[in-house]
Amino acid sequence: MSMSIRGVFYHPYRQSQRGGTMSTQFVLLLTILLQCLFASISDASTSIISEWNAPKPRHSRLLRSALLRQASNEQQNDLWMPLADQGWKPCYNAESASQLPEKSEGYIQVFLDGGLNQQRMGICDAVAVAKILNATLIIPYLEVNPVWKDSSSFMEIFDVDHFINVLKDDISVVRELPEEFSWSTREYYATAIRATRVKRAPVHASGNWYLENVLPVLQSYGIAAISPFSHRLAFDNMPMDIQRLRCKVNFQALQFVPHIRALGDALVSRLRNPTCQMETDTNQITEVTNEKSKQEGKYVVLHLRFDKDMAAHSACDFGGGKAEKLALAKYRQVIWQGRVLNSQFTDEELRSQGRCPMTPEEIGLLLAALGFDNSTRLYLASHKVYGGEARISTLRALFPLMEEKKSLASTEERASIKGKASLLAAVDYYVSIHSDIFISASPGNMHNAMVGHRTYQSLKTIRPNMALMGQLFLNKNLTWSEFEEAVIEGHQNRQGQIRIRKPGQSLYTYPAPDCMCQE
C-alpha cells in the first residue's frame, strides 16, 4: 500500500513546482488529507496502529495559506545569501605547536555512550585528558546505544589513520593496547570492581581533578579506564592550548571513513544537480528531468528529530489522540521510570516555554514563513520519524522537492550503512555540513554539533526560537501575514551570527572565542 501511495502522490508533487495557481495548491491540500487517510489504512497491518492514529493537520488555517505562499525574489535572495564576514576565523597558531612528552605516563581508555554526536564530543574530551596527563590514548570504545542498538566501532565510523596523523604532534594514539594490557577490556570492567577503572569522574571535572585522581592510577598500573565519560571535562578555566586541541580534534581530526564520505559526496551532488534523481522503486540511478529550481544548485538540510524517544521524553501532545498519549506515557514509564520533569506541566505550559519539539507540520510552517518556497530542495536528516509517512505528509506537500537517503541513493549504495544508526547519522552529518543552510526542528546533540561546526566554518545555520514558535502555534487566531511577520522578526539574529561562549556553555556549540580568533 505504501509504495502505491507514494507512486500516486509523490510524482505530482515533483511536477508542481510553479506553485502559483489556486487549483494546484488545492490539489496539494487535498493530497494531504488523502495521504493521512491512506496512511492510517495502510498502517493497520503493522504494530504501530496499536499506539498511533494518523493525525490531522493541527494548524489548518496556517497550512492553507502556506500552500498558497509566494516569496518575492528579494526575499529569496536574502534568505539564501551567505553569511556576511563577521571578523572571526578559526585559530591556527603554528608558532606554539605542542610537542609530545619524552615519556608517556601510561594508557588511557574511555568508554563512550550516547549517539554519534555525544560520542564525538567525548572523543574530543578524551584527547584533551590524554594531553593533560601526558598519556597515550587508546582509540575510544563506543558503547552500544540502548535506543538505536548500534554496535558500530570508532574504526567503522572515523578514519583512524587521519585521526592519528592530525594529532601526531599533540598526543600519542594507538589502535589497541599492547599485549601486556590485553586483559583490559570492556567485559573485564563489567564483571567486578577494578582498581584500574575510574568511575567517579564528576560531570565537567577540572584538569586538576584528573591530575589528582587519574594520574596516580596511571603511575601505579600503567593504565586507567574511565567510564562513564560523557561530559566529564569542564569547558571553563582550561588552558588555551587544551581548548584549541579540543577544537582541532572536532573540526580537523574526526573525519569519516572513505565510504561514508563517498556516499555523502554523491548525495550532495544529486541535491545540487536537480536533473539527477533516483527512482525509489529501483536500485539504479536514472535521469529524471525536474523543472529548474529558483535557487538551482542550493539546498537546505532539515534535521527532523522526531523519533519516539524524543516525543516521549518531551511529554508534549502531538495530535495522535488518546492512543498515542497512552503509548508515549507507557514508553516514558518503561525507559525513565516516570522520571521526566516535563510530565508535571500541561501541554500549553510546555509549548509556551519552548520545550516541545516541533512536528513536521510545524517546522514546515516555520520554513515557509521564513521564505522557503515549494521549489526549495530540502534534505531530511532523520533516523526515524515517529508516525511515519502520514506524519510527514504536510511537510512534503509544502516542500515537494524534499529528499532523504532513500530517495537519493540506491539500495546497493545504502547497503553498507543499512541498520547502523551511527553510520546513517554520519552520512546526515556530512550532507548537513556541506549544505547552504541547516535548520533543526528541536535542540539536541546533532543541533548543537552542527551549530558549532558551521559557526567554525562561517556557514548559515537557522536556530529556531522554540518559545516564540510554541506561543505562535498556541494562538489559533493568527493570520498568515501575522504569523509570517512574527517568524521573520523573531529569527533575524538567529541565522548563524557569532555568539560568544558564556561560562558553562560548550565550546563544541560555541567555538568563539576559544577556537576562533578575531581578524
Interval 255-268: pLDDT, tens: 999 999 999 999 99
3-state secondary structure 346-363: CHHHHHHCCCCCCCHHHH
442 near 474, Cβ under 8 Å? no
Round to whole Å and give the CA distance between 478 and 176.
60
CB atoms within 10 A of CB 218: 22
Query: Terminus-to-terminus CA distance in the chain, angstroms?
Result: 58
DSSP 84: P
| Percent residues over pLDDT 70 in the chain | 83
CA separation for the pair 264, 266 (Å, rounded): 5
Instruction: Retrieve residue 469's grid coordinates.
Output: 514558535
Lowest mean pLDDT among 10-24, 133-147, 425-439: 10-24
The whole-number pLDDT of residue 332 equals: 83
d(CA 286, CA 488): 39
Q: Is the peptide bond before 443 cis (omega within 30 degrees of 0)?
A: no
Q: Is the pLDDT confidence value at 290 over 50? A: no
Q: Let me know: does 468 contact 353? Beta carbons within 8 Å.
A: no
Peptide bond into 513 cis (omega under 30): yes
Residue for grid cell 533516523: 383
3-state SS string over 378-413?
EEEECCCCCCHHHHHHHHHHHCCCEECHHHHCCHHH
Helix H, strand E, coil C: the string for 454-519 is HHHCCCEEECCCHHHHHHHHHCCCCCHHHHHHHHHHHCCCCCCCCCCCCCCCCCCCCCCCCCEEEC
CA-CA distances (angstroms) from residue 160 to 157, 174, 257?
Answer: 9, 10, 8
CA distance 55 to 475: 19
Query: Could you tell me which residues are beta bridge partners of residue 30?
Result: none
**DSSP label of 158:** B
The grid cell for 375 is 521549489
Strand segments (E) across 52-114 = 88-90, 107-112
Residue 281 reports pLDDT greater than 70: no
Of 444 and 370, the one with more pLDDT:
370
Q: Is it the case that residue 274 has pLDDT exceeding 70?
A: yes
Percent of the chain at pLDDT > 90 equals 66
Question: What mean pLDDT is reported for the chain?
Answer: 86
**Secondary structure (3-state) at 355:** coil
**Taking a C-beta distance cutoff of 8 angstroms, is the pair 115, 422 a contact?**
yes
Domains in the chain: boundaries: 96-255, 259-518
Residues 313-336 as b/e (b if ≥16 CB within 10 A, e otherwise) read bbbbbbbbeeebeebbeebbeebe
| CB-CB neighbours of 447 under 10 Å | 21
Q: Is the pLDDT of residue 498 over 50?
A: yes
Strands 276-278 and 223-226: unpaired
* Contact (Cβ atoms closer than 8 angstroms) between residue 429 and residue 446: yes
Gap between the Cα atoms of 146 and 115, Å rounded: 9
Q: Which letter does DSSP use for residue 203 in this model?
A: T
Supply the pTM of this predicted model. 0.85
What residue type is 227 in one-letter code?
S
Q: Are strands 88-90 and 516-518 parallel, antiparallel or unpaired?
A: antiparallel
**pLDDT interval class at 45 (50, 70, 90):** very low
Given this model, what pLDDT does residue 513 score?
Answer: 96
| Span 156-184, average pLDDT | 97
Residues 6+ apart with CB under 8 A from 255: 158, 159, 162, 163, 261
| DSSP 8-state class, residue 250 | I
- Pairwise CA distance, residues 473 & 505, whole Å: 29
Phi, psi of 303 (to 5 degrees): -90, 105
Lowest mean pLDDT among 32-36, 88-92, 288-292, 416-420: 288-292
Query: Residue 388 in contact with residue 39, Cβ under 8 Å?
Result: yes
Pairing of strands 107-112, 136-138: parallel
For the stretch 312-323, pLDDT in tens is 888 888 888 888
pLDDT(47) > 50: no
pLDDT band at 15 (very low <50, low <70, confident <90, very high): very low
Mean pLDDT of 45-70: 74
Half-sphere exposure of 83 (CA within 13 A, CB side): 23
Q: Are 372 and 300 in contact (CB under 8 A)?
A: yes
Q: What contacts 409, CB < 8 A, 6 or more positions away? A: 263, 266, 267, 278
Query: CATH top-level class for 96-255?
Result: alpha beta
pLDDT in tens, 48-58: 444 556 677 89
Continuous segment of H or E residues that includes residue 440: strand 437-440
DSSP 145: P
Which burial class, exposed, middle or buried, applies to 306 when counting CB atoms under 10 A from its CB (0-12, 13-18, 19+)?
A: buried
